[in-house]
Structure 1
Amino acid sequence: MSFLLVRSGLRLLGHSRQCIRTWPLTCTARPIVDMSYSHHFVDFQGSSIPTSMKKLVVTQLSPDFRKAVTLMPNVPVPVPGDGELLIRNRYIGINASDINFSSGRYDPSVKPPFDIGFEGIGEVVALGLSASKDFTVGQPVAYVKSGAFAEYITVPAGSAIPVPLVKPELLTFLISGTTAYISLKEFGYLSEGKKVLVTAAAGGTGQFAVQLAKNAKCYVIGTCSSDEKAGFLKSIGCDLPINYKSEKVSSVIKKTFPEGVDLVYESIGGEMFDTSVNCLATKGHLIIIGFISGYQTSSGMLPVQAGALPAILLRKSASVHGFFLTHYMSEYKEALMALVKLYQSGKLVCEVDHGEQSPEGRFTGLESVFRAIDYMYTGKNIGKIVVELPHLVNSKL
């Protein structure tokens, strides 16, 4: 293992005054692993990183997240290999597709137990030898990798994304933001004056679809489930928020745009998908990025009027595109950089929902991931749902 080794009990934080015999022989301020005793990490603040941690593991396949996933309270903190970073997670992102993963839909061949969670942001607390060329201890990083629902995670250095600060707002770009950016770039054909319908517009990815369409000078309609969400959509530029709890989406669109809309960014499925298809204008496009309304069902989706779909699309010369981020990773870096640039210039709002309005309050600790998933499926969140993982610093070497 190309990982710096030294006896534990020595404070190596960049303030060391002496060289320590290591393998290979070097003088270093990197966190270390003591192989002569037990594994022992030292973080950049000089506090003892525990040898065990909590993480969530899928122990059975089920669309019921609480049945599928188990909190493991005492698993070993992973040791970073050569070219890897050990990251202490500070914030982890909740995604609708977590249910698809825990139910086995993404890869039916995978058998439990397996790790879960897709994205996180935190600090580098230890690193393999070759990873030290590009990263330093204490550096804030974000990443997309399976197994993010854990207190610590190892990530290949080539997959880690340096960020200026550990801010939950930056977590919103990793999946939600890039999904909107790349799908709209590939299939949106956005231009000034186009009429765009975004379903679940106040959600984690919907908020970006709204803003990116507005940046392209489109007219944006956004569906949501409350007046509070409608107010949020107005605040980020949505021209016509529709509260589907109090208004019929199809009726509002037909009255406002008798000829239909040019583009639909669709993530709900079921009846909303049917409504969206029927609202398409001639030569209109619909992008499917999910169908959350059915994720918790046994099949993973609610029924749609699929039999009529070919006739509807043919009659309108319209099209439906599916979009799965994994298939567009060649575009990922460019999308991420573009989103960060828009954010830094004040042209993009990254709304984060920490769960303050949920029945039991803010989502803190891995235990609250279950509540966060439940909260997402109530449809009450505004923006990206994020869980904070606080770490107590109470042990000095």
Structure 2
Amino acid sequence: MASNNIPAKINKLVALKSSTKFRDVVKPVTEPTPKLGDGEVLVKNKFVGINASDLNYAAGRYDPNAKYPLDIGFEALGEVVAAGSKSKYKAGQAVMYCQYGAFCDYKVVDSEKVIPLPSVKAEFLPFILSGNTASISLDKVGEIKEGETVLITAAAGGTGQIAVQWAKLKGCHVIGTCSSPEKVKFLKDIGCDRPVDYTKENLRDVLKKEYPKGVDVVYETIGGDMFDTCVESLAVHGRLIIIGYIESYESGKGLQPSPTLATLPGKLLSKSASVRGFFLPQFIQHYGPYVMKQIQYFNEGKLKSLVDNGEKAPGGPFKGLDKVVDAVEYLFSKKSIGKILVEL
């Protein structure tokens, strides 16, 4: 590949030390472009995805041995601009990938770990991390079946929007929690049977009154009181999938013990129910097939993909690496709908 396609330097974001104060510790750096290996590609990132876990990762909570400065960001979508001699791809190919250090303008990636795309389209970005988290967890860990009742917490968010639609595609009745009338409308638009705005309705009361037999599967991302309510609302043989505990992410103390944990064994035993964890990197073999299935559904009009570039946010729209911090703070403001992304 012609050398003029390879920039001399790349720009990226790093966390300088462990902290949940994302803005205080994240800084831009410039460094020489890494040498391209035979089986690698150099991707020019066009869009990077924002996740609640960006804050947790920068704080070193996923790797107690994390070395700082730490490359941050998980996912990006862009175009191959240069390829090694043994790479599967050529310049011009649209691709996306999940790899630590995605908050950068160019990234060297193993060609085996990128997923080819029909085009560089922002609406594809939610599928690799958020969409795969939703679809793989519901299928492989939640074991959802047609006719079951499924509760999705933070249903109008990046993973929530895909989880709602995936469960509907599997023939489930879907309840979705959210925090505004605007999000209720969005959830109805994507097929959610019972949106619950928890700022106006008490979720525990709604579930007790309208779903007296309980909920078969819960997709739980919030933690705290929400986790307790969801455990209480499980049906016989119910399964609760722990996707995250976002309520504790901004706390310097991290995960706070739930009052329910002390009595959890009895609550589960009496219903033959279970609580199951899900961590996407341990399901890497499913990444490609599940992204392809989501793209297929999207092209067929069966799956909607809403992206939020922060147009209505105080620091938006999000364009350029320097907007990543604004975008992360926007996610925690609970005002976003769909998948937050930053255009580069």
- In which range does the TM-score fall when normalised by the shorter chain? over 0.9
* Residue segments in structure 2 that go unaligned for 5+ positions in a row: none
Q: Which residue of 2 aligns with 1:350?
A: 305
Per-residue Cα deviation, 1:23-49 (whole angstroms, up to 9, x for no partner): xxxxxxx222xxxxxxxxx23xxxxx6
Q: Is residue 210 of structure 1 aligned with residue 164 of structure 2?
A: yes
Q: Which residue of 2 aligns with 1:361?
A: 316
Q: Is residue 299 of structure 1 aligned with residue 253 of structure 2?
A: yes
Tell me the number of residue pairs that the alignment of Structure 1 and Structure 2 aligns: 343
Q: Which residue of 2 aligns with 1:64?
A: 21
How far did residue 332 of structure 1 move?
Answer: 2.1
How far did residue 269 of structure 1 move?
Answer: 0.5
Q: Is the 8 A contact 2:45 2:76 kept in 1?
A: yes
How far did residue 202 of structure 1 move?
Answer: 0.4
How far did residue 120 of structure 1 move?
Answer: 0.5
Q: Which residue of 2 aligns with 1:31?
A: 2
Q: Which residue of 2 aligns with 1:39?
A: none
User: TM-score, structure 1 length as denominator?
Assistant: 0.84
Q: Is residue 386 of structure 1 aligned with residue 341 of structure 2?
A: yes
User: TM-score, structure 2 length as denominator?
Assistant: 0.97
Separation in 2, partners of 1:308, 1:225: 29
Q: Is residue 248 of structure 1 aligned with residue 219 of structure 2?
A: no
Counterpart residue type for residue 33 of structure 2: V
Q: Is the 8 A contact 1:60 1:67 kept in 2?
A: no
Q: Is residue 277 of structure 1 aligned with residue 231 of structure 2?
A: yes
Runs of 4+ in 1 over 3 A off after TM superposition: none
Per-residue Cα deviation, 1:280-313 (whole angstroms, up to 9, x for no partner): 1111110011111111112322331210111111
* Residue segments in structure 1 that go unaligned for 5+ positions in a row: 1-29, 33-41, 44-48, 390-397
| Among candidates 191, 195, 212, match of residue 258 of structure 1 | 212
SS in 2 for 1:130: coil
SS in 1 for 2:201: coil
Q: Which residue of 2 aligns with 1:85?
A: 41
SS in 2 for 1:316: coil
Separation in 2, partners of 1:107, 1:158: 24
Counterpart residue type for residue 253 of structure 1: L
Matches within 5 A, 1:136-147: 136-147=90-101
Q: Is residue 220 of structure 1 aligned with residue 174 of structure 2?
A: yes
Separation in 1, partners of 2:293, 2:198: 32
Worse-matched range after superposition: 331-340 or 150-159:
331-340
Worse-matched range after superposition: 330-339 or 341-350:
330-339
Per-residue Cα deviation, 1:247-301 (whole angstroms, up to 9, x for no partner): 1110111111112111110000111000111111111110011111111112322
Q: Is the 8 A contact 1:195 1:219 kept in 2?
A: yes
Q: Is the 8 A contact 2:128 2:287 kept in 1?
A: no
How far did residue 96 of structure 1 move?
Answer: 1.1
SS in 2 for 1:129: coil
Q: Which residue of 1 aligns with 2:140?
A: 186
Q: Is residue 155 of structure 1 aligned with residue 112 of structure 2?
A: no
Per-residue Cα deviation, 1:98-150 (whole angstroms, up to 9, x for no partner): 1121011111112201211111011111122222xx21112211111111101
Which structure is larger by alpha-carbon Rg, 1 or 2?
Answer: 1
How far did residue 333 of structure 1 move?
Answer: 2.2
Q: Is residue 104 of structure 1 aligned with residue 75 of structure 2?
A: no
Separation in 2, partners of 1:157, 1:50: 19
Q: Which residue of 2 aligns with 1:94?
A: 50
Q: Is the 8 A contact 1:52 1:77 kept in 2?
A: yes
More helix by share: 2
Alpha-carbon RMSD across the aligned residues, in angstroms, is 1.3
Q: Is the 8 A contact 1:78 1:86 kept in 2?
A: no
Using the aligned pairs only, state the percent identity.
50
Separation in 1, partners of 2:147, 2:7: 56
Separation in 2, partners of 1:60, 1:226: 35
Per-residue Cα deviation, 1:309-342 (whole angstroms, up to 9, x for no partner): 1111111111000000111112222222221221
Per-residue Cα deviation, 1:197-216 (whole angstroms, up to 9, x for no partner): 10000000111110111111
Matches within 5 A, 1:41-56: 42-43=4-5, 50-56=7-13
How far did residue 50 of structure 1 move?
Answer: 4.3
Q: Is the 8 A contact 1:89 1:150 kept in 2?
A: yes
Counterpart residue type for residue 350 of structure 1: S
Counterpart residue type for residue 75 of structure 1: E
How far did residue 67 of structure 1 move?
Answer: 2.4
